Amino acid sequence: MDAIVPYLRQLEHAGVVAIFRPIHEMNEGWSWWGGRPGPYGSRELYRFTYWYFVEYYGLHNMIWTWNVKDVGMNSIADYWPGNEYVDVVSLDVWMKAFPSADDYQQILTVAGGKPIALAEVAAIPSPSVMSAQPRWVWWMVWAEYLKDEAFNTDESVKEAYYMPRTLRQGDIPILSKK
């Protein structure tokens, strides 16, 4: 973590706010930090990371994005670090083509009114998915999947990128923690 502090500090001095998503996919066991529910598991590591950058180093230019993967969605609350540590709640969608209605509801419930995002997707959400699940404030397609016809066609990319937006800049406030 020390290695990235100078870069975060450089961004802070330049007035840049970074979307920071540490301990991502914490409900999945593929990484050394993931798949450890409960009070002394992955969520405690997230809290420590927050403390380290915000309290110890005094960095205040990050949008703290808590993240889970689309597995075991009924137990994601076991990984929740607490409202004070999270600005945005996000989901990575890899096991399903799109987030299910149940996944969407699970994320909304944990978020408790905070903005929600699709941090990683292979298939770009269609206008019908976005219409049925309107609270997603952004989605990010994994680069090599954008032009992979197994996930996205030219037409689906055009539909997604040209769909009308209902949110405008400033509609979702994320308050400074200074």
Q: Annotated catalytic sites, by residue?
A: 25, 120
Q: Which of 172, 97, 169 is nearest to 136 (CA)?
A: 172
Q: Which H or E run contains 141?
A: strand 136-141
Distance of alpha carbon 86 from alpha carbon 74, whole angstroms: 20
- Give the count of beta carbons closer than 10 Å to the beta carbon of residue 110: 19
3-state secondary structure of 64: strand
